[in-house]
Amino acid sequence: MKVSQLEGRRIGFIGGGAMAEALLRGLLANVPADRLTVSDVSQARLDSLHAQLGVNVTPDNVEVCRRSDILVLAVKPQVLPAVLAPLIAAKAILFHHLVISIAAGITLAQLEHWLSPEIPIVRVMPNTPALVGMGASALSGGRGTSETDVETARQLLEAVGLAEVLPESYLDAVTGLSGSGPAYVYLFIEALIDAGVKEGLSRDLARRLALQTVAGSAEMIRRTGNHPAVERDKVTSPGGTTIAGVQALEDGGLRSSVFAAVHAATRRARELSGSR
């Protein structure tokens, strides 16, 4: 049996926003609340996280570093250098820390430049379904990381879903696909529900049917291992209803819209590394 690298480790989050909350809620299934500490600039946000999740909270980022072995940098990429500067000045981030950055587009080279190439740093791209233990994350270790450090980060992400260790060169594309991906899927679900309402279904019924259809279809591809087109063919009777719907989606450019969305988000992730 694999030894859990998370056993007894204290995990700190700098930034308690949407993605930190998703990771915290997912992690709480495996890590006791008293080993989780979060800082944020908003006291109201901290009060809410403490009340809802029972985690430790503090407005002081230095304090989070002191109370943690694993440090998750969960602020926006645009503010990350300004957030790190006082921590570096206070020597708050030390070699015993494992630093995990989830900031889109921010490279390991940048993080190593700001901190130190000898500090263990892992760059991660998670996604918000981590909140329900169904996250999809990719991670890459920096120059200062050992295999154990990368394994620790992998176990942390695996506690909230799928975790793939990859070369860093893939991470911007991962951001465009699975980091931002939940938003595309929510948009599709929303459209499916509205379309059902347009056809006369109640909103509640349309919601139940749309959710089960999306979840069931994903599970079919996962369990069968089939190419999606194989399963699509099974739904599509000659001269039937589905081919009429599929033609309408193709006429609307669904496939090229998805290519364009993932490309735009990937490009934006690349731009963010320069937006300091």
Ligand X SMILES: NC(=O)C1=CN([C@@H]2O[C@H](COP(=O)(O)OP(=O)(O)OC[C@H]3O[C@@H](n4cnc5c(N)ncnc54)[C@H](OP(=O)(O)O)[C@@H]3O)[C@@H](O)[C@H]2O)C=CC1
Instruction: Kindly determine how many residues on this chain lie close enough to bind ligand A1CAB according to the rule CB under 6 A.
Output: 4
Nearer to ligand X, 122 or 206 (CB): 122
16 binding ligand X? (CB under 6 A): yes
Candidate list 5, 152, 155, 175; residue touching ligand A1CAB; CB under 6 A: 175
42 binding ligand X? (CB under 6 A): yes
Q: How many CA atoms lie within 13 A of 100 on its CB side?
A: 28
Residue 75's binding partner, choosing from ligand A1CAB, ligand X, none, with beta-carbon cut-off 5 to 8 A by kind?
Answer: ligand X
In the chain, DSSP finds a helix count (H) and a strand count (E) of: 12, 8
244 binding ligand X? (CB under 6 A): no
Segment near ligand X (CB under 6 A), from 37-45, 46-54, 199-207, 231-239?
37-45
The neighbouring-strand residues paired with 71 are: 12, 99
DSSP 79-99: GHHHHHHHHHHTT-S-TT-EE
16 has binding-site annotation: yes
Q: State both tokens at 253.
A: 């450019």
64 binding ligand A1CAB? (CB under 6 A): no
Residue type, 178: S
Nearer to ligand A1CAB, 19 or 49 (CB): 19
Candidate list 104, 106, 136, 157; residue touching ligand A1CAB; CB under 6 A: 104
Candidate list 17, 133, 170, 217; residue touching ligand X; CB under 6 A: 17
Q: State both tokens at 64.
A: 């989070």
Distance CA 12, CA 121 (A): 14
Segment near ligand A1CAB (CB under 6 A), from 7-15, 131-139, 172-180, 222-230?
172-180
36: enclosing H helix or E strand: strand 36-39
Residue with tokens 């459209």: 191
Distance CA 33, CA 38 (A): 11
15 has binding-site annotation: yes
147, with CB counted inside 10 A (0-12, 13-18, 19+), is exposed
Residue 17's binding partner, choosing from ligand A1CAB, ligand X, none, with beta-carbon cut-off 5 to 8 A by kind?
Answer: ligand X
Residue type, 225: G
61 has binding-site annotation: yes
- Phi/psi for 255 (5° steps) reads -60, -45
Q: Footprint of ligand X on residues 116-135 (CB under 6 A)? A: 125-128
Binding residues: 14-19, 61, 74-77
**Residue ranges for the binding site for NADPH?**
61
Contacting residues toward ligand A1CAB, per CB under 6 A = 104, 175, 179-180
